[in-house]
Amino acid sequence: MLITHDTRCALDTVVDLVNTAPEDDTAQDALPDLAALEDFVRNHEISDVGVLSEFDLSAVRTIRGRFAAVFAAPDARATAGLINELVAAAGTTPRLTDHDGYDWHVHYFAPGASVADHLAADCGMALAFFVVAGEEERLRRCEAPDCRRAFVDLSRNRSRRYCDSRTCGNRLHVAAYRARRKEAAG
């Protein structure tokens, strides 16, 4: 599956957005205030966004929940339905653009769109490409028992199980190793 630069950026953005949500009632929201949203927008180089407000923060949190549902969808039909709702609500207006040193690429949001509509349109379309390619199973949640972070499995053989092999994957492998050693020691 060919993934263009702007699609990859949108995928990274939507995964990071979903992962800002608290995993449970004891965890802290990583988008607690307007300053955090401004940092998120800046760090992800989200273009064509005006001055952000508390309304934008609320709207982004709402679509974050809708994107989280995409990563939890049980099948392609459910995934497609959720993505269609996100993209339609954003008032998608595809247009070619070349800005900030990037060659021609497509933006799916209307000029002057809110940051929430921008994210819903561009990130929704990036996820839509996976459904079209029959690759929606690559939109996953970490299989570590104490982690439910979202990620996109871009491995060649679709075998990635953890959000980060250096943390979740390694932690589980070490625990399994220690359990085997303990069992062998009797």
- What is the DSSP annotation of 96-114? EE--TT--SEEE-SPTT--
Predicted TM-score (pTM) of the model is 0.86
Instruction: Note the pLDDT of residue 73.
Output: 95
Instruction: Note the pLDDT of residue 173.
Output: 67
Check residues 4 and 81 and name the one with the higher pLDDT. 81
Number of H helices, E strands in the chain: 6, 4
| CA pair distance 59, 65, nearest whole angstrom | 10
Q: Where residue 100 falls among pLDDT bands split at 50, 70, 90?
A: confident
Closest CA to 7 of 133, 157, 149: 133
| CA pair distance 161, 145, nearest whole angstrom | 11
